[in-house]
Amino acid sequence: MSTERDEIAVVGAGLAGCLLACFLARRGYPVALYERRPDPRTGRVERGRSINLALSERGLDALRRIGLAEQVMADALPMRGRMIHPVAGEPQFQSYSVDGDRAINSISRGALNNALLTAAAALPGVRIAFDHRLVGLDPTSGELTFETPQGKVTGTASVVLGADGAGSAVRGQLLAYGVLTESLDFLDYGYKELTVPPIGGEFALDPGALHIWPRGTSMMIALPNPDRSFTCTLFWPTHGTQSFASLGSPAAIERHFTTHYPDLVPLAPNLVDDYQHNPVGVLGTVRCTPWQVAGKVGLVGDAAHAIVPFYGQGANCAFEDVVELDRCLDECADHWASALPLYQHRRQANAEAIARMALTNFVEMRDKVASPVYRTRKKIEHALERALPGRYVSQYELVSFSTTPYAQVRRRVRRQYAAVGAVAAGALALLAGGVGAALGRRR
């Protein structure tokens, strides 16, 4: 470990940045944690922006390592499956796991951020500077320039780590220096949040499920909150006749929801107001390379690899980045010039794997989950898991209920599908042979 204990700068006090500060402080590093916003523990939450998230095993593994899992899970709402809402008919429950006892957890993003921020602030050597917007970074010297309410200020750090989200200012500075390339692939879809309040002090929907209204080219989901409300998120096209832009008047909004989401309308008294005033967020995948420069500047979480939210793995994946970086520092005896390239080598393929799986899962959630063919396939999959415990495991369980590297999950699932396909083909061949022999005997 470094004997001089030079200060590490973490830019971004969101989920990944606060977790990273905790891990670094526990290693004995002084940490300067910079955040462009005011202290979120005292400020207002921005309306309609990412109220909750799904925390699963990868995120919990990281929280356990700093002793926060129990505190965070005290307010978690476990969701053991999907509740599919058709346009007409009763909702149908689809379990996530073969035995029905495993769950992903609905967590307040703000509460989790505040818990991590408070934990980081309590550790010796951590100082937090709010209202600091990064406007300059020299990747060779580690000099940082921030705009603050009091004017521009500068600082220096031996290592600078960008954990400042999909629109990362650190990544932008590296791009401006010509030491990094990036690609931004945006979907022709956006998202907007609505609220279903409690009814008589109780949940209006089953809180033990993630609710999905699949509508072919669009969908809505709903996650429960500790105050017994639900946060609903619309994922709709940004253009066209069934898009956000197509609904302008209150009458048009009510008519559309009555037609396509009829069971939601009586549960959402503020539907029109939420729809008209909550913003439309963008959805896309951020890729860049390299994730680090000269062992002095590195990117973590969405700053390196933002993904679409359809596997509920954005925060979980970012937390895994932090765990892997900590592991690399262990293996490299805190030699950052070795640890940061090793971290990128180990994580980049996994980030790409979950990015691709998340895009594929969007099609599954908005379209396939409602089909009889999909439900039959899931029954077969669960039957195989029961018949071959530990040998056949579904992709969803490997992603959400294990820490198996994402790239390894994709390879394993492909092998499983190939093996099942080969067995099915062999069974069909035997069946065809038996039928042919029987027909031959009749002749």
Q: At 403, give phi and psi (nearest 5°).
A: -110, 20
pTM: 0.91
Is residue 347 domain-shared with residue 303, that is, in the same domain? yes
Task: Give the pLDDT of residue 378.
Answer: 79
User: Does the residue 344 lie in any domain?
Assistant: yes
The total domain count for the chain is: 3
pLDDT above 70 for 1: no
Say which residue the tokens 């934990």 belong to: 119
For Cα atoms 221, 250, 232, give the angle at the middle one, nearest 5 degrees.
Answer: 15
CATH number of the structural domain spanning residue 313: 3.50.50.60
Domain hosting 125: range is 8-74+108-181+285-362
Task: Give the pLDDT of residue 36.
Answer: 97
Question: Where does a domain end: 255, 282, 309?
Answer: 282
Is residue 276 domain-shared with residue 290, that is, in the same domain? no
Question: What would you report as the CA-atom Rg of the chain, rounded to the nearest whole angstrom?
Answer: 24
- Cα-Cα-Cα-Cα dihedral sign, residues 165, 167, 168, 169: negative
Helix (H, G, I), strand (E, B) or coil at 300: coil
* Lowest-confidence pick of 137-146, 243-252, 358-367: 358-367
User: Does the residue 102 lie in any domain?
Assistant: no
Is residue 291 domain-shared with residue 152, that is, in the same domain? yes
For helices 336-366 and 406-442, angle between their N-to-C axes, nearest 10 degrees: 40
Is residue 225 domain-shared with residue 275, that is, in the same domain? yes
User: Does the residue 95 lie in any domain?
Assistant: no
Task: Give the pLDDT of residue 343.
Answer: 98
- Which secondary-structure segment (H or E) carries 304? helix 302-305
pLDDT above 80 for 430: no
Is residue 138 domain-shared with residue 277, that is, in the same domain? no
Q: What is the pLDDT of residues 142-174, one digit of tens each?
A: 999 999 999 999 999 999 999 999 999 999 999
Question: Where does a domain end: 253, 282, 311?
Answer: 282
Mean of pLDDT values over 342-367: 93
The C-alpha atoms of residue 284 and residue 289 are separated, in whole angstroms, by 17
Is residue 222 domain-shared with residue 312, that is, in the same domain? no
Q: What is the pLDDT of residues 299-324, one digit of tens each?
A: 999 999 999 999 999 999 999 999 99
Task: Give the pLDDT of residue 63.
Answer: 98
If you average pLDDT over every residue of the chain, what do you get? 92
95: which strand partners?
Answer: 81
Task: Give the pLDDT of residue 418.
Answer: 85
User: Does the residue 263 lie in any domain?
Assistant: yes
User: Does the residue 294 lie in any domain?
Assistant: yes
Q: What is the pLDDT of residues 21-73, one digit of tens each?
A: 999 999 999 999 999 999 999 876 555 455 789 999 999 999 999 999 999 99
